[in-house]
Structure 1
Amino acid sequence: MKKIMNTVLRISLISVLLISVFAGVPAKASAATDLGLTVDAAILIDADSGKILYEQNADTSLGIASMTKMMTEYLLLDAIEAGTVTWEQEYRVTDYTYRMSQNRALSNVPLRADGSYTIRELYEAMAIYSANAATVGIAETIAGTETEFLKLMNKKAEELGLEGYKFVNSTGLNNADLFGMHPAGTGAEDENVMPAKSVAKLAYHLLKDHPTVLETSKIAKKTFREGTSDAINMPNWNFMLPGLVFEYEGVDGLKTGSTNFAGQCFTGTAERNGTRLIAVVMKAVDASGQGTYKARFDATAKLFDYGFAQFSKQEIVPADYTFKKQETVKVTKGKEDEVAIAVKEPISIMVKSSEKDLYKPKLVLDKESLEADVKKDTVVGKVVIERTEGTDYGYIDGKEFSSDVVTTEAVERASGFSLFFQGIGNFFGNLWGGITDFVGGLF
């Protein structure tokens, strides 16, 4: 009985020791980062490369409210660039936009029933004050009707590769607020929805294709029709701009959103020391579960703090980098039997400074051999970056970040005389190989 008790005691002590050892092992770097965000979804990306730095429930379609207006901005700036619409072009108010503009609870600048306004005026009201009737006016200018404008929104979304989206109007309002004049083919209770990842992708391409959008989105306050009897103050709803209540260094855009359905949303962008980040938060709430302006800006600040403090652009592959196990590729019919290869352009990516060594270059060859003549800088494949441990979120466009692998020298074609003897050598080499294989088979 005593032996049994001793054995049980030993097993118990071993178990306790094992638990203590494993409990003391720190979590791997691959463990998902938790920023403690009280949001339904969030994402943070590098605005230059599209590298995803953080995501939380980023693939679930949720209400986007007035973040919808980024698509309307995109299409307007496309039209301005194409010359189909001009900044000084006049828009004449319709019954629809007049009626909507009189409801100040919907975020509007009041429009006169018999008035006309320049596209620039409407654009500034939309981008700064999130004015809804002004947004519909822009949609009507571009496409004739908001119904036709929806087709352009869907077409652009497809071009950009957005997923999980549904547009039912140009503003982000609930269709129930549109006085029964919602676009044809949509329901009275429909809402615009999109995943955080697609919202970030929309913002990413908007900044890439139309960086001038920031010239307006960074305006903290402007007077609509200043100097007239229609003058009205337009404070920017982005309270993270310089001088506003939740000021954050470097913020200069981009678009807020808020409805009962979508909750408190924000697509923000900030630049510091040459690095620009894009953050999206959706349905942000405070500690008590209430959706507030402060909640969405606090969540955004956490994302920006994380990105600017933890990440930096690191060179993973220098120019002219060579692979130790594959420094050359074979060359046929050339004066040389092989040619040296190397990476053409360096690769630098946004990574956590502490995790740089987890990223390694991988060679992907398109061709195992080349036939002479071989020119210098002939592309033979590419180098891609792989993370050896943990999760890499990839890029917002879903593309690999790569650089061409090229030949570093030229190889001339061998003379006819040399090719003749190469052919003889190959013949006898193949013949001898066949004989040895045959003889080996006998034994």
Structure 2
Amino acid sequence: MATIMFFSLFVGLNKAEAQASLNVNAAGAILVDGQTGKVLYEKNADTVLGIASMTKMMTEYILQDAIKHGRVKWDQEYTVNSFVSQLSHKTELSNVPLRSAGKYTIKELYDQMAIYSSNSATIAIAETIAGSEANFVKMMNDQAKKLGLKDYKFVNSTGLNNSDYQGHQPTGGPDDENAMSTRSVATLAFRLINDFPNVLKTTSISKQKSVDGVNMPNWNWMLPGLVYGYQGMDGLKTGTTDFAGYCFTGTAMRDGKRFITVVQNATDASGKGSYEARFGETRKMMDYAFSNFTKEEIVPKDYQIKGHKYVKVIKGKDNKVEIYTKSPINMVILNGDKKNYQPVLVLEKSKLTKNGELEAPVKKGEKIGILTIKTKNGEKVSFLTAEGQKKLQADVIAAKTVEKANWFVLMMRGIGGFFGDLFGGISSAVKGWF
């Protein structure tokens, strides 16, 4: 429960220019701020679709987490079994050949997975972490739940169709394939690059040779210098199967702004899917983002609310206390759209009397409530995560300490109040005689 007050903060700003509608040719698409997870554009974002090798972002997340907690080490060696070696020589599935019984470090396998999307290397990593790929798939689904993903199904660690495993699929039916909603893919990407930003050091590598001398060009052809090179692009993951179509999760950073895009089953204007289509539709969203959005300070630190600079205090040495915001509220918004955001003060009702007052003592810096924002035009401001949603608010705190008055002062106030009420009543009665 809370006490809520609305007020106007911005006056006299120029009207924002009308924004051109963004039509992305994909079964599912989303554009988000890569630093807060604010959703800037979406299309069919909650429809469950195939994800193909974008699956490997989950494998990367679990590996990075295992490295962080010491369960796996980069220099740890994996010995290639016959199945993984056999699969690795199916180059039509995107693979780096691995020698049967050969030994490879986790770092070498990780590079193969992150740069060239090697499926055999991915299975090797899954087996190292969980003992078997089947056990790893359970970890993937459990991790998805922990990350707050809502629409997902993992049957393998790679994103291949299970038919490509030729009867060796870890879980699911013979033709099953991984699937997620576009919003969940974006959430996974957001968590991956924010929880483990070092992944971008690898995903930004345009080409590399494996330890055995095999060329590993990056499938992300939007990396600078490649055929669809895009300034600031440094990740993240492509994916292609007959079921999923042409998919891509991209991320780019310029001038302190980072954006994440996802397209699933991307096509050109005629409805034909291709490598060019997935990168072209991604470019469309990235151009839109960098051209039309900017990071603005919506509410400054130490902001005092007009008409609500104080809260009344009872039983204190002072009868009121100043309040202000402890931190600013910054957000990526459309250029010129700052005036569309209206601050909202929410005081903690549990700290207030029935008359909306604080009771002494009140400590300096004590949280009295929060300041959040809403749009004047009624549009919903949505984020990928609950943590992102908190970016829309700042704590409102007491500016100084108000100590509790001693018993004598409180008694005299009570007496003064009693006689004030008494004389006020007599005065009203006398006036009534006339």
TM value normalised by structure 2: 0.89
SS in 2 for 1:181: coil
In the alignment, the residues of structure 1 paired with residue 234 and residue 294 of structure 2 have an alpha-carbon distance, to the nearest angstrom, of 20
Q: Does 1:49 align with 2:36?
A: yes
Q: Does 1:118 align with 2:100?
A: no
Letter in 2 for 1:249: Q
Q: Does 1:285 align with 2:276?
A: no
Given candidates 329, 335, 340, the residue that maps to 2:322 is 340
Question: Could you say which residue in structure 1 is the equivalent of 2:200?
Answer: 214
Contact kept, 8 Å, 1:45 with 1:54, in 2: the verdict is yes
What is the Cα deviation at residue 100 of structure 1? Answer: 1.4
Question: Could you say which residue in structure 2 is the equivalent of 1:224?
Answer: 210
Note closer, same or farther for the CA distance 1:145–1:428 as it changes in structure 2 (3 Å cut).
Answer: farther
SS in 2 for 1:246: coil
Question: Could you say which residue in structure 2 is the equivalent of 1:412?
Answer: 403
What is the Cα deviation at residue 102 of structure 1? Answer: 1.8
Given candidates 384, 399, 412, the residue that maps to 1:396 is 384
- Residue by residue over 1:309-335, the C-alpha shift from the partner in whole angstroms, topping out at 9 and shown as x without a partner, is 100011111112122232211212101
In the alignment, the residues of structure 1 paired with residue 265 and residue 152 of structure 2 have an alpha-carbon distance, to the nearest angstrom, of 17
Question: Could you say which residue in structure 1 is the equivalent of 2:64?
Answer: 77
Note closer, same or farther for the CA distance 1:152–1:313 as it changes in structure 2 (3 Å cut).
Answer: same
Aligned residues: 406
Note closer, same or farther for the CA distance 1:244–1:416 as it changes in structure 2 (3 Å cut).
Answer: same
In the alignment, the residues of structure 1 paired with residue 27 and residue 141 of structure 2 have an alpha-carbon distance, to the nearest angstrom, of 25
Q: Does 1:160 align with 2:142?
A: no
Question: Could you say which residue in structure 2 is the equivalent of 1:65?
Answer: 52
- Residue by residue over 1:166-207, the C-alpha shift from the partner in whole angstroms, topping out at 9 and shown as x without a partner, is 1111011111111111124x2222111111111111111111
Contact kept, 8 Å, 2:16 with 2:335, in 1: the verdict is no
Question: Could you say which residue in structure 2 is the equivalent of 1:148?
Answer: 135
Higher relative contact order (CA 8 A, sep 6+): 2
In the alignment, the residues of structure 1 paired with residue 264 and residue 19 of structure 2 have an alpha-carbon distance, to the nearest angstrom, of 20
In the alignment, the residues of structure 2 paired with residue 370 and residue 268 of structure 1 have an alpha-carbon distance, to the nearest angstrom, of 50
What is the Cα deviation at residue 92 of structure 1? Answer: 0.8
Letter in 1 for 2:292: Q
In the alignment, the residues of structure 2 paired with residue 108 and residue 224 of structure 1 have an alpha-carbon distance, to the nearest angstrom, of 11
Letter in 1 for 2:178: N
Contact kept, 8 Å, 1:54 with 1:393, in 2: the verdict is no
In the alignment, the residues of structure 1 paired with residue 66 and residue 406 of structure 2 have an alpha-carbon distance, to the nearest angstrom, of 59
Higher mean C-alpha deviation, range 324-333 or range 237-246: 324-333
Note closer, same or farther for the CA distance 1:393–1:181 as it changes in structure 2 (3 Å cut).
Answer: farther
When Rg is computed on C-alpha atoms for both structures, the one with the higher figure is: 1
Letter in 1 for 2:224: P
- Residue by residue over 1:244-298, the C-alpha shift from the partner in whole angstroms, topping out at 9 and shown as x without a partner, is 0000000010000110000011000001011111111111011232110110001
Q: Does 1:136 align with 2:118?
A: no
Within a 5 Å distance, the mapping from 1:247-258 to structure 2 comes to: 247-258=229-240
Gaps of 5+ in 2: 1-14, 429-434
Letter in 2 for 1:50: G
In the alignment, the residues of structure 2 paired with residue 382 and residue 434 of structure 1 have an alpha-carbon distance, to the nearest angstrom, of 40
Q: Does 1:187 align with 2:173?
A: yes
Identity across matched positions, percent: 54
Note closer, same or farther for the CA distance 1:395–1:434 as it changes in structure 2 (3 Å cut).
Answer: farther
Q: Does 1:274 align with 2:256?
A: yes
Contact kept, 8 Å, 2:82 with 2:101, in 1: the verdict is no
In the alignment, the residues of structure 2 paired with residue 331 and residue 403 of structure 1 have an alpha-carbon distance, to the nearest angstrom, of 22
- Residue by residue over 1:318-374, the C-alpha shift from the partner in whole angstroms, topping out at 9 and shown as x without a partner, is 112122232211212101111111111111110011211101111011033322221
Note closer, same or farther for the CA distance 1:435–1:34 as it changes in structure 2 (3 Å cut).
Answer: farther
Given candidates 18, 21, 24, the residue that maps to 1:37 is 24
In the alignment, the residues of structure 2 paired with residue 371 and residue 196 of structure 1 have an alpha-carbon distance, to the nearest angstrom, of 49
In the alignment, the residues of structure 1 paired with residue 278 and residue 64 of structure 2 have an alpha-carbon distance, to the nearest angstrom, of 27
Contact kept, 8 Å, 1:361 with 1:386, in 2: the verdict is yes
Letter in 1 for 2:340: L
What is the Cα deviation at residue 431 of structure 1? Answer: 8.0
Note closer, same or farther for the CA distance 1:435–1:197 as it changes in structure 2 (3 Å cut).
Answer: farther
In the alignment, the residues of structure 2 paired with residue 397 and residue 436 of structure 1 have an alpha-carbon distance, to the nearest angstrom, of 61
In the alignment, the residues of structure 2 paired with residue 327 and residue 349 of structure 1 have an alpha-carbon distance, to the nearest angstrom, of 24
Contact kept, 8 Å, 1:30 with 1:389, in 2: the verdict is no
Note closer, same or farther for the CA distance 1:187–1:342 as it changes in structure 2 (3 Å cut).
Answer: same
Question: Could you say which residue in structure 1 is the equivalent of 2:4?
Answer: none
Question: Could you say which residue in structure 2 is the equivalent of 1:95?
Answer: 82
Contact kept, 8 Å, 2:64 with 2:196, in 1: the verdict is yes
- Residue by residue over 1:381-428, the C-alpha shift from the partner in whole angstroms, topping out at 9 and shown as x without a partner, is 001110110523411114242100011122122122101123334556
What is the Cα deviation at residue 435 of structure 1? Answer: 11
Letter in 1 for 2:140: M
In the alignment, the residues of structure 1 paired with residue 19 and residue 242 of structure 2 have an alpha-carbon distance, to the nearest angstrom, of 31
Q: Does 1:424 align with 2:415?
A: yes
Gaps of 5+ in 1: 1-27, 438-443
Contact kept, 8 Å, 1:29 with 1:390, in 2: the verdict is no
Q: Does 1:362 align with 2:344?
A: yes
Q: Does 1:176 align with 2:163?
A: yes
Letter in 1 for 2:125: I
Higher mean C-alpha deviation, range 390-399 or range 344-353: 390-399
In the alignment, the residues of structure 2 paired with residue 384 and residue 99 of structure 1 have an alpha-carbon distance, to the nearest angstrom, of 57
Question: Could you say which residue in structure 2 is the equivalent of 1:239?
Answer: 221
SS in 2 for 1:40: strand
TM value normalised by structure 1: 0.87
Note closer, same or farther for the CA distance 1:431–1:380 as it changes in structure 2 (3 Å cut).
Answer: farther
In the alignment, the residues of structure 1 paired with residue 109 and residue 426 of structure 2 have an alpha-carbon distance, to the nearest angstrom, of 85
